[in-house]
Amino acid sequence: MLGFGREKDLIGLDIGSYSIKAVELKAKKKGTEELYEVKKIGYELLPHDAIVEGTIIDSAAVVETIKMIFDENKITNKNVVISVSGNSVIIKKISLPSMDTEELAESIIWEAKHNIPYPYEETNVDYAILKSSEYSEDKNLDILLVAAKKDKIANYSNVVNQARKNLEAIEVDVFALQNALDVNYPELSKEKTVAIINLGANITNVIIIEKNVPQLFRDLSLGGSFFTENISKDLGISFDDAEKLLKGLPVKNVEPERYEAILNLNIQNILEEIEKTFSFYEAGEKTERKIEAIFLSGGLSKLKDLAAKFEQKFNMRTELFNPFRRIYYDEKKFDSIYFEEMAALFGVATGLATRKLEK
């Protein structure tokens, strides 16, 4: 989406609100199967409030962090693909009668003007034709319409350019997650209806994929930073101490029972929002639809027992998403513990890195 040039090898660069992640992959053929290996990988924390609610506030800090991640991990490839999400990104599924390419392009412009809550001139628009849902009874084209505000694109493009990297494409977080699912869980993505919930610092991305076809997308204004702020306020402790608690570290003069009660209230808020999203999806067609598995990704997904709470709430298989499940790495070059500990953070970056392998 919103991309150009797919022939070059690309670095998946995930510019999050809390940290920046970078992944470079190389493809290997094994018979008819395409396998992937990690060539380079890096992770760096951002200063607090460098990016707030998806908007880059301290561009100098973000630029320096991008440079650092490339320098410290000896990443020489400068061609990157990044992604965006949040309120400035609109994804709509629309249905149009079958028509030729020229007519379709004109229809897309008309649909964009009537389906996007921003002036058309202020947005970058792209689209993709989806495979028909098994529930669809007509022969119309299912179209995925994607629009991102130009100022959001410029906000992120500028820091990449200032870091002296070549921006080759801009993706949307949820589609990067779908790429990572297709590569790592092909047996599920092809046959099942799966929800990926990416619990980031400021935004939680939700995508529901039905037999390889994306069906529903939602960005929730909930994430790790909101947990941290609520815990800090309710317990009367510093932001840093609240972060320590979320990481499972002890903090002086904080009763574990009180912290657990506050944490559970915040978890309940997310569960309720996810439940609304699931209900909207399952009620969206004439034929019954049901989600069959949930994957949790993002920094907040590492919270102790969070997967179990999702499993209990929705009564379905829930597990942490592993973006390296079928992606190999040289254990002489990389520490396996790093991949185990950091897997939850690399869903988007890994999905972006696979984009270079698209035909």
Rounded CA-CA distance 75/98 in Å is 45
Which residue from 243, 178, 255 is spatially nearest to 213, judged by alpha carbons?
178
Task: Tell if the pTM clears 0.95, that is, is over it.
Answer: no
- Tell me 3's DSSP state: B
Whether residue 1 lies inside any domain: the answer is no
Alpha helices in 139-238 (DSSP H): 150-162, 173-184, 186-189, 224-235
Please list the ranges in the chain whose pLDDT falls under 50: 1, 3-6, 133, 357-359
Tell me, what CATH number does 45's domain have? 3.30.420.40
Whether residue 301 lies inside any domain: the answer is yes
Whether residue 96 lies inside any domain: the answer is yes
Rounded CA-CA distance 165/103 in Å is 37
Between the alpha carbon of residue 85 and those of residues 8, 187, 208, the distances in Å are: 24, 27, 16
Q: What is the pLDDT of residue 14?
A: 98
Whether residue 3 lies inside any domain: the answer is no
Domain that residue 292 falls in: 11-357
| Phi, psi angles (nearest 5°) of residue 92 | -130, 140
Which DSSP helix (H) or strand (E) runs through 280?
helix 256-282
Whether residue 59 lies inside any domain: the answer is yes
Whether residue 5 lies inside any domain: the answer is no
Q: What is the pLDDT of residue 53?
A: 84
Mean pLDDT (the chain) is 91
- Exposed e or buried b for every residue in 63-84, given b needs 16+ CB within 10 A? bbbbeebbeeeebebebbbbbb
Number of domains in the chain: 1
Whether residue 2 lies inside any domain: the answer is no
Q: What is the pLDDT of residue 31?
A: 75
Which DSSP helix (H) or strand (E) runs through 22?
strand 19-30
Q: What is the pLDDT of residue 287?
A: 67
Q: What is the pLDDT of residue 100?
A: 86
Q: What is the pLDDT of residue 101?
A: 85
Between the alpha carbon of residue 168 and those of residues 66, 87, 88, the distances in Å are: 16, 23, 20
Whether residue 4 lies inside any domain: the answer is no
Rounded CA-CA distance 238/231 in Å is 9
Q: What is the pLDDT of residue 357?
A: 44
Alpha helices in 10-72 (DSSP H): 59-72
